[in-house]
Amino acid sequence: MSLYEKLVNKEEKISLIGLGYVGMPIAVAFAKKVDVIGFDVSEPKVELYKKGIDPTKEVGNDVIKNTTVEFTSDELKLREAKFHIVAVPTPVKIDHTPDLSPIESASRTLGRNLTKNSIVVFESTVYPGVTEDICIPILEKESGLICGIDFKVGYSPERINPGDKVHRLETIIKVVAGQDEDSLNTIAKVYELVVEAGVYKAANIKVAEAAKVIENSQRDINIAFMNELSIIFNKMNIDTKSVLEAAGTKWNFLNFSPGLVGGHCIGVDPYYLTYKAEEIGYHSQIILSGRKINDDMGKYVAESTVKKMIKANKQINGAQVAIFGVTFKENCPDVRNTKVVDVIRELEDYGIEVKVVDPQADEEDLWREYKIKLCKTEDIIEMDAIIFAVPHDEFKLIQLEDIKNMFCKKVLLDTDETMEVAATSMLDVNGFVLMDLKGIFDRKEAEDNGFSYWRF
């Protein structure tokens, strides 16, 4: 009986190593078809899953409560599985070089518990060659087994889009690769159990690795072009969004928009490719140029905010600015590599006090990573400028009149000890500095209501 048949008959198990925004939804999907062990080194995270809590908000608490995934932080449980999927993060270091320590650590952990006749599939985004040149030797060393004889290895790049309820694991074509024909066919059949859109068999592992790393590099370059256009058009006093809407009427115009490019994929993956290119003697020009533009956009937003405040006769040192949204994208709690933090740090360098509101953000991760505390919307009062950085659905319900109140002062009533909001007398056309990075509000309506309005 083949490994695939044993999995379907629940005579063997699948393990998921890494239960984050990518690994956990994969584990839950497979658990509907086969027995699954969900492993993560973070005991607190595993305990949350065991309690039926989804900290990623990717599938929801109800799904976690009802899934049959066996969540564990005990690495010995991996010995019960024969098909292993590694889905750990692959970040970059401070110098923008690849940080392979998570995938190396996961390979060591799995290697210590790897048994004969297993298949290991890596999903983490890497540059071409990492699976075969780095991961396989670690697996062999830790297990004492020989790859190609005692176990097989494959690669299937993750394409899950955090916070996206439309493009899910089941609905996105899955690229798969194996070290030989036999492993490729098994890997393809296993993923076909859960991927309704079907699988695409890549020529080899390096091709699959390269395909993944260029997907996000392409998006990064296109967004960088939009960001550069935004800088140019703002200097020309032309509304970029209006330009893109007009250009978008052409059938082959690509639908990209300017913005802050963060997260664990688009803002990271290009560096993996350029690192490998440098290693083989080629210095990237287009990819790194795009990266530089996108990496500088946080500073650009902060500088644009300060300029708007100066024109509104605001005192910069000691000013108060509220930022709505700190996650790397909308409707997602993930704060990894969020470029909103670049805006915050730059404003703080001007002596500005920044208050952050985000109902979606993971509060513990935000404090651990950046030492930033969240405020509630009702705490936003007497602001000198307000920045809407991330278009969460909750923020789209806020009205311009609500935002005006956030600029107002608190005054003490003569007949009561309570504080009440009253409009300031200095509110002229430049009084309300509103930085609407993703165009949540209508520009004309905002300007008609007295806002000094700015967007990319």
Active site residues: 265
Here the contacts of 303-308 (C-beta below 8 Å, separation 24 or greater) are: 303/346, 304/234, 304/435, 304/454, 305/343, 305/347, 305/385, 305/387, 305/433, 305/435, 305/454, 306/347, 306/350, 306/352, 308/385, 308/433, 308/435, 308/452, 308/454
Distance CA 19, CA 25 (A): 8
Distance CA 62, CA 161 (A): 20
Contact, 424 vs 408, CB < 8 A? yes
| N-term to C-term CA, the chain | 59
Distance CA 176, CA 185 (A): 9
Contact, 328 vs 334, CB < 8 A? yes
Contact, 420 vs 358, CB < 8 A? no
Measured CA to CA in angstroms, residue 295 lies from 128, 184, 271, 330, 374 at distances of 24, 38, 12, 19, 24
Tokens, residue 260: 């802050």
- Point out which residues pair with 13 in neighbouring strands: 35, 81
